[in-house]
Structure 1
């Protein structure tokens, strides 16, 4: 018996690993979007922090409100980033396990399936966090009613 796997076995494993690889590409794009949003929030927080000590009255209250909102957004984005990176790591583990199982004729399909389900759950959680952050950001974009009064 040949201890080395056949080329067809490796080719089949590569085919099986393509879906998780596409998922990794999508997670990479999500990470790029989240990192960009985080950078913009941090930049805005720095600007508002400079204005904060120079303001008073309603303007000061608005700066405090916006800083709290920006802090919440940073927290949500950071959690989404952690979840997305965790999903990417789990997806990489799935791909590695597919090859290990193929090379050593291991029957670890259940383990691979559970890890892939975990990767998907982490990705879904990250996307929910992204949606939450977008909803929070929209609350800061609305024009204040006092500016709309005649």
Structure 2
């Protein structure tokens, strides 16, 4: 007996519609920091320490030359452009679950980030962006005030 995956296109359309409905309904404040993702959204981790924010973007299948980063009006843009190679006519996909596609993702930066001191490195398919906080935004030791 063979196991065959059942896929009815009619159900896929309905499933996508319901997923979009619930995703829009259940949006939270964290997701509001994203301006636009063009429909494709890689996995992202965001960390905050006392001195910086760190953003990790998972980009398997890309190389450093495919990446473009810029900041304009407090919006960090991560853009990846990759040309899809033409498929060899001798081989046609029988089943395809992944591909490396171009995308653009924008993050609205908090006012505490120093845009002049943003750095990024790309290693093993992971883009790490370090966003240093401005000096005045750093938490300092409390100053005791004497009452006279």
Which one has the bigger helix percentage? 1
Question: What's the TM-score bracket when you normalise by the shorter of the two chains?
Answer: under 0.3
Mark the structure with the bigger radius of gyration. 1
Q: Report the TM-score, using the length of structure 2 for normalisation.
A: 0.23
Q: Report the TM-score, using the length of structure 1 for normalisation.
A: 0.23
Which one has the bigger strand percentage? 2
Comparing both chains, which one has the higher relative contact order based on Cα–Cα distances under 8 Å and sequence gaps of 6 or more? 1
